[in-house]
Structure 1
Amino acid sequence: MATTGSASAHLTAVPPQPRSPASPAAPAATATLIGSVQRAMRLLETVAGHEHGAPAKQLARETGLALPTTYHLLRTLVHEGYLRRDKGLFFLGDAAARLSCSGEQQKRRSTVVDILARWRDAIGAPVYYAVYREGEIEVVCVSGAAGTPAVEGWADFRETGHAHAIGQCLLSQLDEDARRDHLDRYPVRPVTPYTVRDDHSLLRRLERTRRMDLVIERQEYALGAVCAAIPITVGTTAASLALSMPAHQADRLLPAARRLQAEMGRLVGSLELSISI
């Protein structure tokens, strides 16, 4: 076993080891940014400020980019559809317009989601919003919660419009030709023992439904669930707001639907915006 003195001698005999190069300093946050993307975005913003278009040299001058870099980025952006070129001038392209449109659509969807959630909490039942668009029943938004779960869509909602209140409400707003066209594509068929049995019976029911009447459906689409749908006039588009409840709470359905119908008038404008979602 070595003594302390010999250990010291041994340690001092070890030649100094070469120092490894100093570790580089942690990169600044900006080191992770991609310069070409920043330049491209700057070009897009500059083009957006020129309603009547702008030439490459002007865009290079306003963005502070070298002219060759500007030409390269402009060609790329035109190729990807974010810009278009016409007679030497550059304009925003369809892809850029779609970005803006998507943002507006998301904003409208968020507005509708918030409205339905408020009504769901106030009434104590799940709320649905649907439209009839391009010959199809389309559920735009459903607002349910743990204590007020929405009806499970166990059968295709588009194909079973005859069986649920939403579909019947939307079909009641169509003209006779549009109704028959829908039923030619999606014939009436049993979904539960309570479902309307044939096209003739359904058409008679729809004809008796006045345009702004509530539509009530009891276990025709889902056993154990009842539903009420309220028609909404949105220009030429058929739309509907609906709510559902467990069958054992059926006595609450009509009062809740009438309350919803009375309250929705002041917010129907927000629902109208969602037609384009």
Structure 2
Amino acid sequence: MELKGKAAVVTGGASGLGAATARLLAAEGVKVALFDLNAEKGEAVAAEIGGIFCQVNVCDDASVDAGFEKARAAHGQEAILINCAGTGNAVKTASRSKETGAIKHFPLDAFNMIIQINLVGTFRCIAKSAAGMMTLEPGEFGERGAIVNTASVAAEDGQIGQAAYSASKGGVVGMTLPIARDLSGEGIRVNTILPGIFNTPLLAAAPDNVKAALSASVPFPKRLGMPEEYASLAVEMCRNSYFNGEDVRLDGAIRMAPR
């Protein structure tokens, strides 16, 4: 796919992996719209790259619809969608208090929240974006669009307390190939990245010794991943028209231990 001049939507684009991807797309001449809840950071990144910010909650149909309407009014129909919006928690399925012996289970509302944001929110944006991409005139080889999703290595080797997170990210991996097949007749490609331990705002507040331990757990290179490395792969998945239906780990060969 020729990137220059295309329109793109990046969810979770106000920081971390999404912001790095938005910056790289803009550097390639792509018109970028950022979907995020954080208006202050989103507006700042949008101003930096000459893009547009849309305050969007990926769990809400009306909010997502309004975001796409605003983005398309400014840039035209997007040919690229990068899904980076997501969150996580760490709660055991059932646990016993060391102090009192009391037993409790994972609150189902907290479990469902992670599924709704990471899995359903991703699918919601895919479905609505793909419907719009189908209106585009096909380019070379009949291509109309490219979609990149963000899962996690936790989809394959989730740690203690990651039942909800792993389930949500495993769902993203599991739906990648069926969606790629659903959309193949329309010339829309779908791929997913499974990042390992990346230096994103999620880890920004972690003590240096924690970051050092995490870095040491990576076989090579022994450091945290950089958002720019995620962005590089995401953009290549858009550029390379033979990249389709794939789930790719980007993790320095790490395989997560139970804890």
TM-score, normalising length: structure 2 = 0.25
Larger Rg: 1
Structure scoring higher RCO (CA < 8 A, sep ≥ 6) equals 2
TM-score, normalising length: structure 1 = 0.24
